[in-house]
Structure formats: C-alpha cells, structure tokens
C-alpha cells in the first residue's frame, strides 16, 4: 500500500495551533486507516525539534551530513 505523504513547510510551521490541529488529525487518521504515513519537511531545526518532542524518528535524505541546528 502506498504511503500517505504529508509535506510540512511555510506558514504552517509558524503556527503552533495549526501544527497541533494537524498532528491531532494525523493521530485520528492513523487510528482509523492502515495506510502508512510519511511526514516530509523542509522546515529545518524547528520541525526536527517538534519530531523529537513527539518521539518520532527524523530521517534526512540528500541533505547536509552535519547537524546545523543550534543547541538549546
């Protein structure tokens, strides 16, 4: 089965409320569908931090080998 691919970027990344609604919808989707879900982003450190808070793995493809995110 082909995965559902969601790309995060732009204004969505600036809105905590919008991100919360999106992830709530994705949790509901996963509970009622067997289709795999893939989240793709170009949001850099902000999305990396969010994924870490959600305990979700981050896999980077064709990006820089170094971690450009600043430590907290």
Distances (CA, A) of 38 to 43, 68, 69: 15, 23, 22
DSSP-derived secondary structure letter, 44: T
Categorize the per-residue pLDDT at 24 as very low, low, confident or very high, splitting at 50, 70 and 90. very high
Output 13 or 35, whichever has higher pLDDT.
35
CA distance 19 to 71: 22
The phi, psi pair for 9, rounded to 5°, reads 180, 175
Tell me the residue range of the domain where 26 lies. 1-72
Mean predicted lDDT score pLDDT of the chain: 81
Tally of domains in the chain: 1
């Amino acid at each position: 089965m082909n995965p559902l691919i969601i790309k995060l970027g732009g204004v969505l990344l600036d809105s905590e409320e919008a991100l919360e609604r999106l992830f709530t919808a994705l949790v509901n989707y996963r509970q009622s569908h067997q289709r795999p879900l893939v989240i793709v982003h170009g949001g850099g450190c902000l999305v990396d931090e969010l994924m870490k808070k959600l305990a979700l793995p981050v896999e980077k493809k064709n990006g820089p080998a170094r971690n450009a995110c600043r430590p907290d």
